[in-house]
C-alpha cells in the first residue's frame, strides 16, 4: 500500500475519556467503530482510499470486535454487501469514490434503497469534485434524489463529523433508509481532535452469529413488493427522516446580527464560507459570524420547516451550493413559494454554476451578495474592497516570484513500468501508421497526455476493451485497447474480455499487470498473489483469461521495448482472428521502491554488497535532438546546456531521480537512436573482487584516457 497506517491504527483503540488527534479519514474510521458496525467494505479511490487502508491495517482490532471487513471486488460488490442490513439489525458501512463508484454501484443501490434497511447503513463517499479531482465532474446529489437515499455533507470539524457519523446510523434506522455521507478531499486529510467514546461491539458479528435466516417477501425487489416499497418511501420513510433531522438538530443554525440576510450552505463548505466572510470583515477566525448561517449537514432531504424558519423575516438569502445543477437552490425556491414567503433567493447568479467553491470564488460571490442585498449596519465600501485587496496580494506575489510557477502536468512516475509500453506503441506506429487506442482508467491514462498522446477515448474503469467494440469493425487496422490489472478485476474481465471472446472481436488488448491498483495507492488485487491479510490467493491473469477462452496470449516484460514492439506488431498483423491479449508485466515502480528501500538499507547496515544501477548520457555523443525524451517521457531525462562551446543545442542528461529502470537505453536501442546512453553500476560495500577489478579498470581506462588528457572517475562507491 502507498501508506502504512500500522502506527495510526492504535488510535482506533482509544476509549471514553481519551482524546483522538489525527487525520480526518482516521477519525471517520474511529466513528464507525464507535457506532457498532458489524461489517465494512468498499473499493479504493481518492479521497477515501485511506479508509480502506486503515481498516486493512486494523485487522486485529476488527477481529477482536468480530467486525467483518472486505476489500470488495468493485463498488457494486461493496453496495451489495449492505444486503446484510436489509433483513437483520446489523449496522454496516461501505466506502468508495463518487460519482464514478456510485455509477458502478447504482444497481445494488437502487435495490437497497427500495427494499429499505433494518440495520443502520452508511455509504461513505469521497466526493472527488473540483480542483485536483481526477474524474468527470458530477455530483452525487442526483443519485441520492432518484433512489431516495439520504445525503449528508458534514461540516468539516472533527467532533461534528464523528457525531454525524454516529447520527447517520440512527437516521438510517429511524427511516429504514441507507444514508450517504460525502467528504471532499480536504475534509479527508484535515487534522483535528475529538473526545473519544468506547468502541461498540456489534450485537451481530463474526463473534456473535445468528442461527436462523429471516424471510420477508416485503424486502424482495419484485412486484408487488416494489409498489409497496415505493409507497413506503413517500408515506413513512421520508417523513420519518425529516422528523429525525429536525428533532436531532442535524442541520445547524449560526446566528448573526445581520438578521435581514442569511446564507444557506452545504455543511462541507462551512470552513471556506467562514474564511470568505472573514476576508470581508464579517466573521472572525473562530467562526463568530455577523451573517446568520444555516449549515445543511443533510442536503437531501431538505426539511421545509427549517428552510422556512430560517428564511422567514429575511429580505435575501444566499444559497451556497457547489456544482450543478442547482438542486438546492431550486428546491429552496419551491419551498418558499409553497410557504408563501417572499425572501429573495440568490445563488448561481452571484456564484459560478460549475467548479469548486474555493475561498477566493466564495469571496467574490458573497461580496456581490452583500453589496446587492445591502444589510443594515455593514460598511459596503470595505466589503467591495476585499476582493480587490486579495487580487492585489496575488498580483504582488506573482511579481515577487518573477516568473509564473511552471505547470506540472500529471505523468507516469520516474521508472514507471507502463511508460515503455507506450514508447513501444509509438515505435509500432512508425511502421504501421496511426492506431486507434481505446484507453482506460488507471495510471496508464497518462498515456493520453504529452509526450505520448496515445488514447482516443476513456469511457470508464475496466471499459477500455468494451469501448473498442464498435470502433474495431469500422477500421481497416486492428484497434489496441488498454486495460490495467485493477480495471480487469474491477469489471474488465466480464465487460471487456468475455464480451470480446463471445462476440469474436478481432482486436488487440494490452493488460498492464503491475501488481496493484497503483493509481489509488498500491492496494492489493486478486493477481497481487495475496490478499490484504497476506494470505496467498493463487489467482493469475493468465489463468483467468485462458479460462474465459482467450487463445492468443503473450506475456512481455514491459521494459523490453524491442520485444514489446515485436509482439505488438505481431498482434496487429497476424492472420489469426479474434482477441489477442498481451500481458505487459512489471511491478509498479513506486511499490517496488517502497519494497526495496528498507531491504537495501538493512543490507547496507549489515555491511553487505549492494549494487544500484543508474543511467547517464554521454555529452559528447548526444546529438541534442532529444528524440529519447520524446519517446520515453521520463521525468529524470531532461536537458542541460551543451558543454561544447562549438555546439548550441542543449544535450540530454539524467538527473538524480533516475531509478535505473533502463527504459531510456532500451528505447535508444529499439528506435536505433544515438548510442549516448551508458549504464553505471554503483557498488556499495564493495567486495575484494570489486576493488581489484576497479583498480584494473582504472588503470586501463586511465592509460587510454591519458592520451586524451582525461582522468577516470571512481567506478566503485564507498
For ligand SF4, which is the closer residue by CB, 205 or 518?
A: 518
For ligand SF4, which is the closer residue by CB, 413 or 468?
A: 413
Smallest distance, ligand SF4 to C-beta of residue 598, A: 18
- CA-to-CA dists, residue 652 to 376, 639, 640, 649, 659, angstroms: 65, 4, 6, 10, 17
- Please name which of 541, 520, 527, 513 lies closest in space to residue 56, comparing C-alpha atoms: 520
Smallest distance, ligand SF4 to C-beta of residue 652, A: 9
Smallest distance, ligand SF4 to C-beta of residue 529, A: 17
- Please name which of 325, 323, 332 lies closest in space to residue 296, comparing C-alpha atoms: 332
Smallest distance, ligand SF4 to C-beta of residue 217, A: 48
Site for ligand SF4 in 488-517 (CB under 6 A): 514
d(CA 434, CA 430): 8
For ligand SF4, which is the closer residue by CB, 323 or 633?
A: 633
Task: Please classify residue 408 by burial: count the beta carbons closer than 10 Å to its beta carbon, then call 0-12 exposed, 13-18 middle and 19+ buried.
Answer: exposed
Q: What are phi and psi of 197, to 5 degrees?
A: -115, 170
Smallest distance, ligand SF4 to C-beta of residue 612, A: 11
Q: Choose the binding region for ligand SF4 from 230-238, 300-308, 543-551, 654-662 (rule: CB under 6 A).
A: 654-662
d(CA 117, CA 218): 11
Q: How many C-beta neighbours within 10 Å does residue 623 have?
A: 13
Smallest distance, ligand SF4 to C-beta of residue 446, A: 7
> Could you tell me how many residues make up the chain?
718
Site for ligand SF4 in 576-635 (CB under 6 A): 588-590, 615, 632, 634
For ligand SF4, which is the closer residue by CB, 289 or 582?
A: 582
Q: What are phi and psi of 681, to 5 degrees?
A: -100, 120
Smallest distance, ligand SF4 to C-beta of residue 241, A: 42
For ligand SF4, which is the closer residue by CB, 25 or 654?
A: 654
For ligand SF4, which is the closer residue by CB, 183 or 412?
A: 412
Q: What are phi and psi of 269, to 5 degrees?
A: -100, 5
- Please name which of 183, 28, 166, 206 lies closest in space to residue 101, comparing C-alpha atoms: 183
- Of 28, 443, 466, 568, the residue at the interface with ligand SF4 (CB under 6 A) is 443
Q: Does 637 bind ligand SF4 (CB under 6 A)?
A: yes
d(CA 170, CA 184): 23
DSSP E strands in 558-676: the ranges are: 579-585, 610-617, 637-640, 651-654
- Of 518, 528, 567, 676, the residue at the interface with ligand SF4 (CB under 6 A) is 518
Smallest distance, ligand SF4 to C-beta of residue 595, A: 12
- Please name which of 179, 198, 180, 208 lies closest in space to residue 88, comparing C-alpha atoms: 208
Site string for ligand SF4, 391-420 (x = CB under 6 A): ---------------------xxxxx-x--
**HEC profile of 17-43:** CCEEEEEHHHHHHHHHHHCCCCEEEEC
- Of 171, 636, 673, 686, the residue at the interface with ligand SF4 (CB under 6 A) is 636
Smallest distance, ligand SF4 to C-beta of residue 67, A: 30
Site string for ligand SF4, 656-675 (x = CB under 6 A): --xxxxxxx-----------
For ligand SF4, which is the closer residue by CB, 204 or 670?
A: 670
Smallest distance, ligand SF4 to C-beta of residue 405, A: 23
For ligand SF4, which is the closer residue by CB, 296 or 637?
A: 637
Residue pair 139/129 in contact by the 8 Å Cβ criterion: yes
Q: How many C-beta neighbours within 10 Å does residue 6 have?
A: 11
Q: Does 161 bind ligand SF4 (CB under 6 A)?
A: no
d(CA 378, CA 262): 13
Contact positions toward ligand SF4, by CB under 6 A? 412-416, 418, 443, 514, 518-519, 588-590, 615, 632, 634, 636-637, 654, 658-664
Amino acid at each position: 500500500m502507498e501508506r502504512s497506517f500500522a502506527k495510526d491504527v492504535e488510535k482506533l483503540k482509544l476509549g471514553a475519556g481519551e482524546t483522538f488527534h489525527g487525520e480526518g479519514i482516521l477519525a471517520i474510521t474511529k466513528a464507525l467503530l464507535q457506532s457498532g458496525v458489524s461489517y465494512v467494505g468498499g473499493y479504493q479511490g481518492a479521497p477515501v482510499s485511506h479508509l480502506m487502508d486503515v481498516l486493512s491495517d486494523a485487522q486485529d482490532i476488527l477481529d477482536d470486535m468480530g467486525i467483518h471487513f472486505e476489500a470488495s471486488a468493485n463498488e457494486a460488490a461493496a453496495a451489495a454487501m449492505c444486503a446484510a442490513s436489509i433483513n437483520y439489525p446489523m449496522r454496516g458501512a461501505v466506502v468508495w469514490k463518487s460519482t464514478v463508484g456510485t455509477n458502478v454501484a447504482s444497481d445494488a443501490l437502487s435495490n437497497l434503497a427500495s427494499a429499505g434497511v433494518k440495520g443502520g447503513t452508511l455509504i461513505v463517499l469521497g466526493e472527488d469534485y473540483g480542483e485536483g479531482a481526477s474524474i468527470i465532474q458530477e455530483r452525487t446529489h442526483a443519485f441520492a434524489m432518484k433512489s431516495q437515499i439520504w445525503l449528508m455533507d458534514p461540516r468539516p470539524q472533527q467532533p461534528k463529523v464523528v457525531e454525524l457519523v454516529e447520527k447517520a446510523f440512527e437516521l438510517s434506522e429511524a427511516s429504514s433508509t441507507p444514508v450517504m455521507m460525502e467528504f471532499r478531499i480536504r475534509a479527508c486529510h484535515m487534522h483535528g481532535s475529538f473526545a473519544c467514546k468506547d468502541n461498540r461491539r456489534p450485537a451481530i458479528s463474526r463473534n456473535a452469529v445468528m442461527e436462523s435466516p429471516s424471510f420477508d417477501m416485503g424486502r424482495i425487489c419484485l412486484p408487488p413488493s416494489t409498489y409497496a416499497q415505493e409507497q413506503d418511501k413517500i408515506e413513512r420513510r421520508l417523513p420519518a427522516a425529516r422528523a429525525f433531522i429536525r428533532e436531532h438538530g442535524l442541520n445547524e443554525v449560526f446566528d448573526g446580527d445581520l438578521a435581514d440576510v442569511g446564507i444557506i450552505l452545504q455543511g462541507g463548505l462551512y470552513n471556506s464560507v467562514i474564511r470568505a466572510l472573514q476576508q470581508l470583515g464579517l466573521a472572525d477566525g473562530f467562526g463568530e459570524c455577523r451573517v446568520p448561517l444555516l449549515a445543511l449537514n443533510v442536503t437531501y432531504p431538505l426539511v421545509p420547516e427549517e428552510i422556512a424558519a430560517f428564511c422567514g423575516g429575511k429580505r435575501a438569502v444566499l444559497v451556497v451550493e457547489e456544482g450543478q445543477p442547482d438542486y438546492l437552490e431550486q428546491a429552496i425556491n419551491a419551498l418558499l413559494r409553497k410557504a408563501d414567503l417572499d425572501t429573495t433567493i440568490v445563488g448561481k447568479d452571484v456564484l459560478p454554476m460549475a467548479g469548486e467553491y474555493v475561498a477566493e470564488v466564495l469571496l467574490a460571490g458573497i461580496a456581490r451578495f452583500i453589496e446587492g442585498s445591502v444589510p443594515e449596519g455593514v460598511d459596503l465600501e470595505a466589503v467591495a474592497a476585499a476582493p480587490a485587496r486579495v487580487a492585489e496580494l496575488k498580483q504582488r506575489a506573482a511579481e515577487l516570484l518573477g516568473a509564473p510557477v511552471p505547470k506540472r502536468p500529471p505523468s507516469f512516475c520516474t521508472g514507471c513500468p507502463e511508460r515503455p509500453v507506450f514508447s513501444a506503441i509509438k515505435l509500432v506506429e512508425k511502421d504501421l501508421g496511426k492506431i486507434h487506442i481505446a484507453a482506460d482508467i488507471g495510471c496508464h491514462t497518462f498515456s493520453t497526455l504529452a509526450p505520448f498522446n496515445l488514447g482516443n477515448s476513456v469511457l470508464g474503469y475496466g471499459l477500455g476493451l468494451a469501448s473498442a467494440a464498435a470502433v474495431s469493425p469500422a477500421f481497416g487496422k486492428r484497434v489496441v485497447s488498454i486495460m490495467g490489472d485493477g480495471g480487469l478485476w474491477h469489471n474488465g474481465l466480464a465487460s471487456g474480455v468475455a464480451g470480446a471472446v463471445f462476440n469474436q472481436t478481432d482486436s488487440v488488448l494490452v493488460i498492464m499487470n503491475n501488481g496493484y491498483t497503483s493509481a489509488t495507492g498500491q492496494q492489493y488485487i486478486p493477481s497481487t498473489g495475496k490478499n490484504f491479510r497476506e494470505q496467498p490467493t493463487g489467482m493469475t491473469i493468465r489463468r483467468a483469461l485462458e479460462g474465459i477462452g482467450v487463445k492468443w496470449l503473450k506475456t512481455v516484460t514491459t521494459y523490453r521495448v524491442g520485444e514489446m514492439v515485436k509482439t505488438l506488431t505481431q498482434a496487429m498483423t497476424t492472420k489469426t482472428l479474434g482477441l489477442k491479449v498481451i500481458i505487459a508485466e512489471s511491478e509498479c515502480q513506486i511499490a517496488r521502491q517502497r519494497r526495496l528501500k528498507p531491504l537495501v538499507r538493512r543490507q547496507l547496515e549489515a555491511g553487505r554488497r549492494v549494487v544500484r544501477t543508474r543511467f547517464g548520457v554521454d555529452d559528447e555523443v548526444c546529438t541534442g535532438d532529444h528524440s529519447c525524451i520524446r519517446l520515453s517521457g521520463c521525468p529524470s531525462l531532461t536537458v542541460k546546456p551543451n558543454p561544447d562551446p562549438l555546439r548550441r543545442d542543449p544535450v540530454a542528461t539524467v538527473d538524480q531521480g533516475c531509478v535505473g529502470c533502463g527504459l531510456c537505453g532500451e528505447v535508444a536501442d529499439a528506435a536505433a537512436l544515438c548510442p549516448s546512453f551508458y549504464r553505471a553500476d554503483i557498488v556499495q560495500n564493495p567486495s575484494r573482487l570489486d576493488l581489484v577489478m576497479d583498480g584494473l579498470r582504472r588503470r586501463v581506462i586511465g592509460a587510454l584516457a591519458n592520451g586524451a588528457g582525461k582522468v577516470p572517475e571512481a567506478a566503485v562507491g564507498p
